[in-house]
Amino acid sequence: MITNKLFFLLILVFSFSLMATGQPLSLVTPLANSVKESSGLIYLNGRLITHNDSGGASALYELDTLSGNISRSVVLSNATNNDWEDICEDGTYIYVADFGNNNGNRTNLKVYRLLIADYLSTTNDSVLVDTISFGYADQTDFSSSTFSTNFDAEALIAYGDSLYVFTKNWGDNWTNIYALPKVPGNYSIPKIDSIDVQGLITGGTYDAAANSILLSGYTVNSPFLVEVKDFVNTSFSEGTVNRITVTPPSGYSIQIESITHLGQDQYFLTAEDSFTGDAGLFRWENLLISGLESLVDVPYSIYPNPASNFIQLDYSGFASVEIYDMLGVLHKRSTGKRIDLLGLEAGMYLVVVRIDDQVYTERLIVW
Number of structural domains, the chain? 2
Mean pLDDT over 24-38 rounds to 94
If asked whether residues 131 and 148 sit together in one domain, one would say yes
Indicate the residue among 244, 277, 294 that finishes a domain.
Answer: 294
- The residues near 194 (Cβ < 8 Å, ≥ 6 apart) are 174, 175, 176, 177, 237
If asked whether residues 183 and 52 sit together in one domain, one would say yes
pLDDT at 9 over 80: no
pLDDT digits 0-9 by tens, 136-145: 999 999 999 8
pLDDT at 260 over 90: yes
pLDDT digits 0-9 by tens, 148-195: 999 999 999 999 999 999 999 999 999 999 999 999 999 999 999 999
Q: Measure CA of the first residue to CA of the last residue in the chain; give whole Å.
A: 16
With bands split at pLDDT 50, 70 and 90, how would you rate the model's confidence at 291? very low
- The residues near 327 (Cβ < 8 Å, ≥ 6 apart) are none
Indicate the residue among 257, 277, 294 that finishes a domain.
Answer: 294
Domain of residue 305, CATH code: 2.60.40.10
If asked whether residues 337 and 290 sit together in one domain, one would say no
pTM of the model: 0.79
Mean pLDDT for all residues in the chain: 89
Asked whether 219 and 200 are in contact (CB, 8 A), the reply is: yes
Peptide bond connecting 249 to the previous residue in cis, omega within 30 degrees of 0: no
pLDDT at 6 over 70: no
Higher pLDDT, 258 or 346: 258
| CA–CA dist 123, 192 (Å, integer) | 41
CA 121 to chain centre: 32
If asked whether residues 18 and 134 sit together in one domain, one would say yes
pLDDT at 297 over 80: no
Strands 223-229 and 212-218: antiparallel
pLDDT at 288 over 70: no
Sequence letter at residue 333:
R
Backbone angles phi, psi at 16, to 5 degrees: -60, -35
pLDDT at 48 over 50: yes
| CA–CA dist 214, 191 (Å, integer) | 19
Predicted local distance difference test score (pLDDT) of residue 285: 84
| CA–CA dist 266, 48 (Å, integer) | 13
pLDDT at 362 over 80: no
Indicate the residue among 294, 309, 334 that finishes a domain.
Answer: 294
Predicted local distance difference test score (pLDDT) of residue 4: 53
Asked whether 245 and 235 are in contact (CB, 8 A), the reply is: no
pLDDT at 261 over 80: yes
pLDDT at 290 over 70: no
Asked whether 59 and 320 are in contact (CB, 8 A), the reply is: no
pLDDT digits 0-9 by tens, 64-120: 998 999 999 999 999 999 999 999 999 999 999 999 999 999 999 999 999 999 999
If asked whether residues 234 and 287 sit together in one domain, one would say yes
Domain of residue 172, CATH code: 2.115.10
pLDDT digits 0-9 by tens, 212-222: 999 999 998 78
If asked whether residues 22 and 91 sit together in one domain, one would say yes
If asked whether residues 333 and 246 sit together in one domain, one would say no
If asked whether residues 325 and 256 sit together in one domain, one would say no
| CA–CA dist 164, 127 (Å, integer) | 24
Sequence letter at residue 273:
D
If asked whether residues 85 and 205 sit together in one domain, one would say yes
Mean pLDDT over 45-69 rounds to 94
- DSSP letter assigned to residue 9: H
Full residue range of the structural domain in which residue 311 is found: 300-366
What stretches of 121-199 adopt beta strand conformation (E)?
126-127, 130-136, 153-159, 162-167, 175-181, 185-189, 191-195
- DSSP code string of 22-67: -EEPEEEEEPPGGGTTEEEEEEETTEEEEEE-TTS-SEEEEE-TTT
Nearest to 39 by CA among 98, 80, 94: 98
Helix (H, G, I), strand (E, B) or coil at 287: coil
pLDDT digits 0-9 by tens, 299-344: 888 888 888 899 998 887 778 888 987 666 789 999 888 999 999 9
If asked whether residues 196 and 158 sit together in one domain, one would say yes
If asked whether residues 178 and 315 sit together in one domain, one would say no
Predicted local distance difference test score (pLDDT) of residue 349: 84
The answer to whether the Cα torsion of 235, 238, 240, 244 is positive or negative is positive
If asked whether residues 349 and 221 sit together in one domain, one would say no
| CA–CA dist 176, 164 (Å, integer) | 10
Sequence letter at residue 75:
V
